[in-house]
Amino acid sequence: MSEIKIEKPTPKKLRALGVEKWGTWECEPSTFDWSYDSPETCYMLEGKVKVKTPSGVAEFGKGDLVRFPEGLSCTWTVIEKVKKKYLFG
């Protein structure tokens, strides 16, 4: 299984992906367990997060494009309030 992938996308890439049409999710600082039934791609509009997986910790925040693989079980720690655009599948 591939791990979490993080990149700094260009505005052109965000337009090509159609990020503005994706759903929006917000979360106050908290810690919770999560598992992915399908792949998710998200673009971080605000905030800072640490996600602990069986193989390590990924940190990301505002301006990052993040991909989570199907089948991943992890623990999210929202350090600063998050606002993100997301797409499953």
The CATH code for residues 5-88 is 2.60.120.10
pLDDT at 2 (0 to 100): 57
Residue ranges covered by each domain of the chain? 5-88
Mean pLDDT, the chain cut into blocks of 10 residues (89 residues total): 86 98 98 97 98 95 97 97 97
Q: Where are the beta strands (DSSP E) in the chain?
A: 5-7, 23-27, 30-35, 40-53, 56-61, 65-68, 73-88
Instruction: Report the predicted TM-score, pTM, of the whole model to 2 decimal places.
Output: 0.94
CA distance 86 to 89: 10
pLDDT at 1 (0 to 100): 38
pLDDT at 15 (0 to 100): 97
